[in-house]
């Protein structure tokens, strides 16, 4: 086995590959860009080298530099992962030229599958079924129109050089053909620099079913069954599963056999995936072949018990396949959900930012999380915004799906928008549960997949109000010495209001609705007034977890406060509220706002002068009101631009005390 390999990738797949390498006693070399200095894949590796600036072309695509680093570090093989250089023929060739094993198929096999029409020609010769169509050289418009008519409408025009759904036109009738052809060719030329097209029969309700294949350098090839990846949005896979639902053993064997035939036709070696369109009547057609390890390979691992990265390393090392076909079987059912930083409410716009709070489900024999980020990590604009792959397994599809729903509900992310809610809706969707799958799935169930958010009720408001109270109490206690007169030191609570109450307004960030609450202090509980109703509330706060008793009903909630917002996870729902507190604006006002007196009173002392730089929470001045001292603190790190009062001055309620500029 190789003593040391270089992983020419980042994120979850780099970590995934290293996990197996470590298990096999193979040393790992990571590479990283300036944006990934603190990334998980860098920490996991035995050694890691900087490539250059964040953009992929300056880092993860620098083929020559990567080969140079492999040589310098003594790595004998390079695993390219997926994306980046994984299907780059020149890179695969250059590795071999430099006596470094490229962990993937021969460059010739990558090449053969690179062009749609060339791939189809090879597959046709190998008796792999193709969608009825024309994929020849004649690009004359009249000729293509005649071909379309012979195939029978509806037809699909596809750019030969296309991919990912780009450069495709569905044509319903002969009279629209010429126009569609012209526009498809125009798009193909501008997108791929190649305006050649092919024409196919358009299948209206196909499923995307792909077969995992493996071949070694001794002429052996096996398949590891299928994955159903029909649930896609804009040609991006969302949830994948294995095995494909409602698949007969006969069809499975037939598709597997054909996939092996396809691999053998191009002298394949290593891990590959043959993608098929599976029509309603059970006919299936070759779509394309991916000559790499795929994102969704874990579902295959879960149902076969095989480690596909281990297989890749063994095959690359010249060994025979670890198993023969007869030794492989399907055990149970697995799903993979792709957790993305993106905003489903804004047409799935990719989101970037810091993972301020990240809680994943507990990994087990049923739940696997493949990720390259941890709490505090960043999702940047430079790379794919995938946060993690959540993979679940159980003995049958329904049980596995229940596992998926459970695990998704345990997932918590604060700091950037994610598709977690959307994934939960999918996993709970009737059509998905019934496996009513095809490539139009999301369109068909669109209305039930983007349902309205749950409304903010007394449970949510009680959690928010109690959290705010207990949080302040904890904060005040933490600074007891600095503020010996803290109102929290009195058993009866906050005394600034004569009748011991506190008004807090919460604003639901999704509906922009305001909710007024009044919290009354009692000896061993709070009375929270919401809409003229009173609720007896008590509880314990442990970091993010609040164990609350609301009129005798007890439950747990997780609360994460960030940027003046409370993110509340409560009984499988989540809410975002902002807080407006009477008399306490200082603690959570806009960081740039000037600091004002929370009540009429006297300035006791001033701790800063104009021009001072202060840290968040640093005391600026102390005022006295109603015989209590109150410390005015900096809301953020910044500079005091002006101090408007001095010791002994009387101030009005709301008077500006200090002007302040946050950093």
Strands, DSSP E only, in 81-218? 101-102, 133-134, 155-159, 168-171, 197-201, 207-215
Phi, then psi, of 272 in degrees rounded to 5: -150, 160
Burial class (CB in 10 A: 0-12, 13-18, 19+), 136: middle
Q: Of 6 and 168, which CB lies nearer to ligand MV4 in the complex structure? A: 168
Instruction: Based on the residue annotation, tell me whether 292 is a catalytic residue of this protein.
Output: yes
Q: Which positions ≥6 away from 571 have C-beta within 8 Å?
A: 459, 555, 557
Let me know: does 300 contact 308? Beta carbons within 8 Å.
yes
Q: Of 91 and 284, which CB lies nearer to ligand MV4 in the complex structure? A: 284
Out of 10, 16, 101, 208, which residue is the one contacting ligand MV4 (CB under 6 A)?
208
Q: Of 292 and 417, which CB lies nearer to ligand MV4 in the complex structure? A: 292
Q: Of 277 and 528, which CB lies nearer to ligand MV4 in the complex structure? A: 277
Quick one: tokens of 63?
Answer: 């083929």
Partnered with residue 157 across adjacent β-strands are 169, 199
* Integer angstrom CA distances of residue 241 from 301, 400, 458, 495, 512: 11, 10, 39, 59, 38
Q: Residue 193 half-sphere exposure, CB side, CA atoms within 13 Å? A: 0
* Structure-derived torsion over alpha carbons of residues 419, 425, 429, 431, reported in degrees to the nearest 10: -30
Q: Of 229 and 400, which CB lies nearer to ligand MV4 in the complex structure? A: 229
Considering the rule CB under 6 A, would residue 206 count as an interface residue with ligand MV4? yes
Choosing from 292, 368, 397, 403, the catalytic residue is 292
- d(CA 234, CA 608) in angstroms, rounded, equals 56
Out of 235, 443, 444, 554, which residue is the one contacting ligand MV4 (CB under 6 A)?
235
Considering the rule CB under 6 A, would residue 191 count as an interface residue with ligand MV4? no
Considering the rule CB under 6 A, would residue 151 count as an interface residue with ligand MV4? no
- Spatial CA neighbour of 116 closest among 194, 203, 227, 169: 194
Considering the rule CB under 6 A, would residue 156 count as an interface residue with ligand MV4? yes
Out of 87, 200, 370, 394, which residue is the one contacting ligand MV4 (CB under 6 A)?
200
Span interacting with ligand MV4, options 184-192, 199-207, 483-491, 540-548, rule CB under 6 A: 199-207
CB of 282 to ligand MV4, least distance (A): 16
Looking at residues 326 to 365 of the shown chain, list those that interact with ligand MV4 (rule: CB under 6 A): none
Rg (CA), the chain: 31
Considering the rule CB under 6 A, would residue 135 count as an interface residue with ligand MV4? no
Considering the rule CB under 6 A, would residue 581 count as an interface residue with ligand MV4? no
Considering the rule CB under 6 A, would residue 445 count as an interface residue with ligand MV4? no
Total residues in contact with ligand MV4, by rule CB under 6 A: 15
Quick one: tokens of 601?
Answer: 């009173």
- d(CA 168, CA 162) in angstroms, rounded, equals 8
CB of 116 to ligand MV4, least distance (A): 8
- Spatial CA neighbour of 390 closest among 240, 224, 242: 240
Binding mask 214-233 for ligand MV4 (x = CB under 6 A): ------------------x-
Out of 199, 203, 259, 339, which residue is the one contacting ligand MV4 (CB under 6 A)?
203
Which residue in the block uniquely carries the two structure tokens 């063994």?
314
Span interacting with ligand MV4, options 197-205, 468-476, 487-495, 584-592, rule CB under 6 A: 197-205
Q: Which positions ≥6 away from 627 have C-beta within 8 Å?
A: none
DSSP state at residue 115: S
- Spatial CA neighbour of 154 closest among 177, 142, 171, 131: 171
Partnered with residue 662 across adjacent β-strands are 638
| C-alpha 57, offset from chain centre | 23
Considering the rule CB under 6 A, would residue 165 count as an interface residue with ligand MV4? yes
Considering the rule CB under 6 A, would residue 202 count as an interface residue with ligand MV4? yes
Residue 430: CB atoms within 10 Å: 9
Q: Of 165 and 219, which CB lies nearer to ligand MV4 in the complex structure? A: 165
Q: Of 90 and 236, which CB lies nearer to ligand MV4 in the complex structure? A: 236
Q: Of 231 and 584, which CB lies nearer to ligand MV4 in the complex structure? A: 231
CB of 418 to ligand MV4, least distance (A): 23
Span interacting with ligand MV4, options 79-87, 194-202, 259-267, 469-477, rule CB under 6 A: 194-202
In three-state form (DSSP H/G/I as H, E/B as E, the rest C), the secondary structure along 619-635 is EEEEEEECCEEEEEECC
Q: Of 202 and 526, which CB lies nearer to ligand MV4 in the complex structure? A: 202
Q: Of 227 and 633, which CB lies nearer to ligand MV4 in the complex structure? A: 227
Out of 85, 95, 131, 224, which residue is the one contacting ligand MV4 (CB under 6 A)?
131
Binding mask 401-440 for ligand MV4 (x = CB under 6 A): --------------------------------------x-
Let me know: does 120 contact 277? Beta carbons within 8 Å.
no
Binding mask 271-310 for ligand MV4 (x = CB under 6 A): ------x---------xx----------------------
Quick one: tokens of 437?
Answer: 């799958």
- Spatial CA neighbour of 396 closest among 473, 320, 318, 333: 333
Considering the rule CB under 6 A, would residue 477 count as an interface residue with ligand MV4? no
CB of 439 to ligand MV4, least distance (A): 4
CB of 271 to ligand MV4, least distance (A): 19
Q: Per-residue DSSP letters for 314-378?
A: HHHTTPPPS--GGG----SEEEEEEEESEEGGGTTEE--EE-SEEEPPPP-SSEEEEES--TT-E
Span interacting with ligand MV4, options 89-97, 196-204, 382-390, 460-468, rule CB under 6 A: 196-204
Q: Which residues are catalytic?
A: 292
Binding site for ligand MV4 (CB under 6 A): 131, 156, 165, 200-203, 206, 208, 232, 235, 277, 287-288, 439
């Amino acid at each position: 086995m190789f003593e040391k390999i270089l992983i020419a990738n980042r994120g979850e797949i780099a970590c995934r590959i290293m996990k197996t390498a470590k298990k096999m006693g193979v040393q790992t070399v990571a590479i990283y860009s300036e944006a990934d200095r603190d990334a998980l894949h860098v920490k996991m590796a035995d050694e890691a080298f900087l490539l250059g600036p964040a953009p992929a072309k300056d880092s993860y695509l620098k083929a020559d530099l990567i080969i140079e680093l492999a040589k310098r570090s003594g790595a004998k093989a390079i695993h390219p992962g997926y994306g980046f250089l994984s299907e780059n023929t020149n890179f695969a060739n250059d590795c071999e030229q430099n006596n470094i094993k490229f962990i993937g198929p021969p460059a010739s096999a990558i090449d053969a599958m690179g062009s749609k029409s060339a791939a189809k020609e090879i597959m046709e010769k190998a008796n792999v079924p193709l969608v009825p169509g024309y994929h020849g050289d004649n690009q004359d418009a009249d000729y293509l129109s005649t071909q379309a008519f012979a195939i029978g409408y509806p037809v699909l025009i596809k750019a030969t050089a296309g991919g990912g759904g780009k450069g495709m036109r569905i044509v319903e009738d002969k009279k629209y053909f010429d126009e569609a052809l012209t526009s498809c060719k125009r798009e193909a030329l501008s997108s791929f620099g190649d305006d050649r097209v092919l024409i196919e029969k358009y299948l209206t309700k196909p499923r995307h079913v792909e077969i995992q294949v493996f071949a070694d350098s001794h002429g052996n090839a096996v398949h590891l069954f299928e994955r159903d990846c029909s649930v896609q949005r804009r040609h991006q896979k969302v949830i994948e599963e294995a095995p494909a639902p409602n698949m007969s053993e006969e069809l499975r064997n037939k598709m597997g056999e054909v996939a092996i035939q396809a691999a053998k036709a191009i002298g394949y070696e290593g891990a590959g995936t043959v993608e098929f369109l599976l029509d309603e009547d059970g006919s299936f057609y070759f779509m394309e072949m991916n000559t790499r390890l795929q994102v969704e390979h874990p579902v295959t691992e879960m149902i076969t018990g095989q480690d596909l990265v281990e297989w890749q390393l063994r095959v690359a090392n010249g060994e025979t396949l670890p198993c023969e076909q007869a030794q492989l079987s399907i055990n149970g059912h697995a799903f993979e959900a792709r957790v993305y930083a993106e905003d489903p409410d804004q047409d799935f716009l990719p989101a970037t930012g810091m993972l301020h709070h990240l809680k994943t489900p507990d990994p087990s024999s049923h739940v696997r999380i493949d990720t390259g980020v941890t709490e505090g990590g960043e999702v940047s604009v430079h790379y794919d915004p995938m946060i993690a792959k959540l993979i679940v397994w159980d003995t049958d599809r329904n049980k596995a799906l229940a596992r998926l729903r459970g695990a998704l509900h345990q997932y918590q992310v604060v700091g950037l928008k994610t598709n977690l809610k959307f994934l939960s809706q999918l996993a709970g969707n009737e059509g998905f549960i019934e496996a009513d799958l095809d490539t139009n799935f999301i369109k068909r169930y669109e209305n039930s997949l983007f349902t309205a958010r749950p409304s903010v009720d007394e449970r949510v408001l009680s959690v928010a109000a109690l959290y705010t109270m207990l949080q302040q109490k904890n904060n005040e206690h933490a600074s007891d010495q600095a503020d010996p007169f803290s109102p929290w030191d009195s058993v009866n609570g906050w005394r600034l209001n004569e009748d011991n109450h506190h008004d807090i307004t919460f604003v639901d960030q999704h509906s922009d609705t305001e909710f007024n609450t009044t919290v009354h202090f009692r000896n061993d509980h709070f009375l929270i007034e919401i809409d003229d109703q009173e609720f007896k509330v008590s509880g314990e706060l442990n970091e993010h977890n609040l164990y609350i008793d609301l009129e005798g009903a007890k439950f747990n909630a997780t609360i994460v406060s960030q940027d003046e917002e409370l993110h509340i996870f409560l009984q499988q729902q989540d809410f975002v509220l902002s807080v407006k507190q009477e008399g306490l604006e200082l603690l959570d006002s806009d960081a740039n706002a000037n600091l004002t007196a929370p009540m009429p009173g006297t300035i006791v002392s001033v701790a800063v002068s104009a021009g001072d730089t202060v840290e968040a929470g640093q005391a600026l001045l102390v005022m006295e009101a109603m015989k209590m001292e109150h410390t005015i603190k900096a809301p953020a790190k910044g500079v005091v631009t002006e101090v408007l009062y001095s010791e002994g001055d009387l101030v009005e309620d709301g008077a500006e005390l200090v002007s302040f500029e946050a950093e």
